[in-house]
Amino acid sequence: MAEKESVLDKYGVDVGFKLTYERVITAEDIDLFAKVSGDFNPVHIDDDYAKKTFFKGRIAHGALSQAFLSATMAKLPGLVIFISQTLKFVNPVRIGDTITAIAEVTDTRKDKGIVTMTNTCVNQKGENIVEGEAMVRIFEKPA
């Protein structure tokens, strides 16, 4: 009996498979994220307040960078379902920064369609903003 092809093989997803998503951060992005998330921490939305902090100005929500990683992984082929993610926020994201989210497959469980991916966001200077790892499961797209 022939072995059934794994969904990962069908879609060509293996170790080294890499996806990216890039976005320039605007004040409107931060304001909209605050509205959607309900996180109105003044370091994100109040210029005068944020200037008095050690950040010396407004910064984006860490979860906004995480959302870019989610958008990146959603570009995987098939039906992609999030299982888990760990993140470390290592540098702030500022208005005007160009953030590139990168997700790269580092391990697979072909029998289950599960992939482990490194997650990184970098700014236009090449500085890491977010570092972490995620696990997603890929299913065949519904017909």
Q: What are the tokens at 44?
A: 């994100």
* All domains of the chain in start order, with CATH: 7-26+60-139 (3.10.129.10)
Element (H, E) at 39: none
Contacts of residue 32, defined as CB under 8 A and 6 or more positions apart, other chains included, come to none
Task: With beta carbons less than 8 A apart as the criterion, state whether 53 and 88 touch.
Answer: no
Q: What are the tokens at 74?
A: 């959603």
Task: Report pTM.
Answer: 0.92
d(CA 136, CA 89): 21
Instruction: Kindly state the average pLDDT of the residues 99-126.
Output: 98
d(CA 124, CA 98): 5
Q: For residue range 52-61, what is the model confidence (pLDDT) as tens digits? A: 999 999 999 9
Instruction: Kindly state the average pLDDT of the residues 16-20.
Output: 98
Q: What pLDDT score does 4 carry?
A: 79
Q: For residue range 36-73, what is the model confidence (pLDDT) as tens digits? A: 999 999 999 999 999 999 999 999 999 999 999 999 99
Instruction: Kindly state the average pLDDT of the residues 90-110.
Output: 98
- Assign 3-class secondary structure to 45-110: HCHHHHHCCCCCCCCCCHHHHHHHHHHHHCCCCCEEEEEEEEEEECCCCCCCCEEEEEEEEEEEEC
